[in-house]
Structure 1
Amino acid sequence: MIFPWHLGRDIRMLALDVDGVLTDGVIHLDAEGHEHKRFHVTDGLGIRLLLEAGLRVGLITARRSVAVAKRAEELSLSFAHMGVRGGKWQCLQGELLKGGIRPDQCACMGDDLIDLEMLCRVGLATAPMDARPEVKQRVHWVASLPGGRGAVRELAEGLLMAQGRWEDIVAGFIPGSHSNDHGQ
């Protein structure tokens, strides 16, 4: 699906679901009951690039997880809401108000029914390739990659291209160009 450049130009915030978006949706529990999740480093770099470009990036998830809290801290996310039970949209509204950002200036990526309320109210609603059909039918753009396997990176690049920032970012990684510390 072609990225909707016209919708990405004015995006100032990105809100992400976790399970099925930042991860592949699989939850591993060890013998002690500790939860383990896998995060893709390319998604992490995409998030860092958005943050460096001045966008607010955060996550809103219904589950609580030490692994997710650790990943949010590593990436220096603008916000991380876990254990959200009263609706993700209400939580996102608070972040929009806090940042002085209108809903049409926000992008979201979600993969399941619980994300629909949030997705249907923002300027750029997106989903990973393996999202539920009911979600993919209602978003502006569907990534060509699955959740936890680069879908967030694909979205990050689309946003940065739509805002005319991508070529400068790429140049920053080329030896002899302006260097930058892009931790992932």
Structure 2
Amino acid sequence: MPPIPVADLADRCRPIEFLLVDVDGVIAIDDRGVETKHFHVRDGGGIALWRKAGKRAAILSGRSAPLVDRRAAELGMAPVIQGAAEKGGPFRDLLGALGLDARQVCYMGDDLADLPVLAAAGLAACPADAAPEAIQLAHLVTQAPGGRGAVREVVEVILKSQGVWEDLVAGYRS
């Protein structure tokens, strides 16, 4: 799918209240030899800004790792759904449990397991290095690769579209 026009992107961003992200390849770089995950400070800062704007964020991951639970707790992300090899069902369950409409959700994923959620979410986002099939479904593809500030980039686009970015930034200037 070619990039959507800026006006259409802004229209998709305005109703977003919930940020749902995959972990590996999106907010973490995974060293599979030893179970470690490297989280980029800009992505954590992006989640913090998102939460400061009064919005909620959660994780939907195909893999399971205790490190993810710890990082999510640090950032105030809940729920944390791990071990979801098939993500469409858990996404629908999450919408029902939280009383959300799919149009209110930005989902950020990078691989084939993310396709059902990318297709259903109000705003589908992918990092620059996502699988081509994921990028085809994305409304927004970041300049940053996964685990290197891509989540922060998405947060900034949404909050600017919603007209709250400048107020958040002003708090850092004073």
Checking the alignment, whether the CA contact within 8 Å between 1:19 and 1:26 is kept in structure 2 is: no
Checking the alignment, whether the CA contact within 8 Å between 1:12 and 1:55 is kept in structure 2 is: yes
TM-score by length of 2: 0.92
Q: 1:1-184, aligned counterparts within 5 Å?
A: 4-29=9-34, 35-85=35-85, 87-175=86-174
TM-score by length of 1: 0.87
Greater fraction of residues in helix:
2
Distance 2:112 2:70 in 1: 26
How many angstroms does 1:28 deviate by? 4.2
Distance 1:112 1:12 in 2: 23
How many angstroms does 1:99 deviate by? 2.0
Seq. identity, %: 41
Checking the alignment, whether the CA contact within 8 Å between 1:21 and 1:128 is kept in structure 2 is: yes
SS of aligned partner of 1:172: helix
Structure 1, unpaired ranges of 5+: 30-34, 176-184
Change (3 A) 1:173 1:153: same
SS of aligned partner of 1:37: strand
How many angstroms does 1:133 deviate by? 0.9
Distance 1:28 1:154 in 2: 29
SS of aligned partner of 2:173: coil
Rg comparison, structure with higher value: 1
Encode CA deviations 1:137-170: one digit per residue, 9 max, x unaligned. Answer: 1211100100000000000011111111000000
Structure 2, unpaired ranges of 5+: none
Distance 1:134 1:150 in 2: 21
Q: CA RMSD in A?
A: 1.4
Distance 1:74 1:28 in 2: 25
Displaced runs of 4 or more, over 2 A: 24-28
SS of aligned partner of 1:38: strand
Q: Which amino acid aligns with 1:125?
A: A
